[in-house]
Amino acid sequence: MADEKRTAAAIAGNCFAMLFYGLSFLWTKVAFKYCGPFTVIFVRLVLSSAFLAIVDALRIRGRTASPGHSRIERKDFVSLVILSLFMPFLYFVGENLGLMSVSPAVAATIIALIPVVTPLMSRIFLAERVGILAVAGMILSLAGVLLMIKNGLADASATVGGACLVFLAVLAASLGAVAVRKLPLRLSGITIVKYQNFFGALMFLPLFLFYEAGEAVLILPAPELYWSLGALALLPSTVSYLFYNNAIRVLGPARASVFSNAVPVIAAAFSAIVLGEKFGAVKILGMGIALVGVAISQIRNS
């Protein structure tokens, strides 16, 4: 019964994680109107890690020490730095730079390949089995994404370079899921995400200073910039990370990543509502093919 409740909680939390991930494409587009990608990433990671540092300090102070709990050890920092390299550093490099030249819906559709690529990474690094249907689903999903990108090129909502950058984010997310799975269970989710975002901010600091620090001081204050950065820091960079990391630990990388199927649907729906983005038959067909391929790849005992 306890395991069932734990699984149900992980599934519910992962649903909220994907909701905020889908909305993050729109919030990022809003922030890009005022500042560059490295500024957006650096600020959201600093805000998130600072918030989690406060929460973690209060949690530790109010917790009664138990024999089963162990604080972070030196050897854990190596694993956390590796995790931070994949998620958020390489993931955000791919996603945010890709969003500079592709639409939110196209980017989210490519991101939907995460549950296809993740089982392959799990097979390589965790020795998890990958069946024939998983490979077939991957090929079908790639076909759908390529159809989406082709349609995006026709209506200037995507470029080849931008699509490749988003594919980099897919690979980084898949390897990041493997890295989370290998972390010791004694580390709490709050501690993991706190250091994950802190090390990620340090990795982005040189890029921010070199490329955008001079322009950052000239950014005009605007309410929508503040709420978009705040939403990015609190929801996808904090809440979603906590829920998704927990789902990876409870459900495993392959099962947890399948929830990414909802991301392009959420992003597409809100792109139409908020940004007025229109979808032709070819783009909708490409998205459908990609999602069907992802679903096929997740059929168990294949």
The pLDDT tens digits for 163-208 are 889 899 999 999 999 999 888 888 888 999 999 999 999 999 999 9
| Angle subtended by helix axes 132-154 and 281-297, to nearest 10 | 160
Q: Is the whole model's pTM more than 0.85, yes or no?
A: no
pLDDT at 65: 43
- Taking 60 as the threshold, does the pLDDT of residue 136 lie above it? yes
Q: Which tops the pLDDT comparison, 221 or 287?
A: 221
Q: Which string of b and e fits 3-28 if b means at least 16 CB within 10 Å?
A: eeeeeeebbebbebbbbbbbbbbbbb
pLDDT for 259 = 76
Of all residues in the chain, the percent with pLDDT exceeding 90 is 31
Q: pLDDT category, 62, cuts 50, 70, 90?
A: low
- Among the residue ranges 117-121, 141-145, 154-158, the one predicted with the least confidence is 154-158
- Confidence grade of residue 225 (pLDDT, cut at 50, 70, 90): very high
Check residue 206 and give its pLDDT: 95
Confidence of residue 45 (pLDDT cuts 50, 70, 90): very high
Asked whether 193 and 52 are in contact (CB, 8 A), the reply is yes
Q: How confident is the model at residue 63 (pLDDT cuts 50, 70, 90)?
A: low
Q: What DSSP line would sit under 228-278, residue for residue?
A: HHHHHHHIIIIIIHHHHHHHHHHH-HHHHHGGGGHHHHHHHHHIIIII---
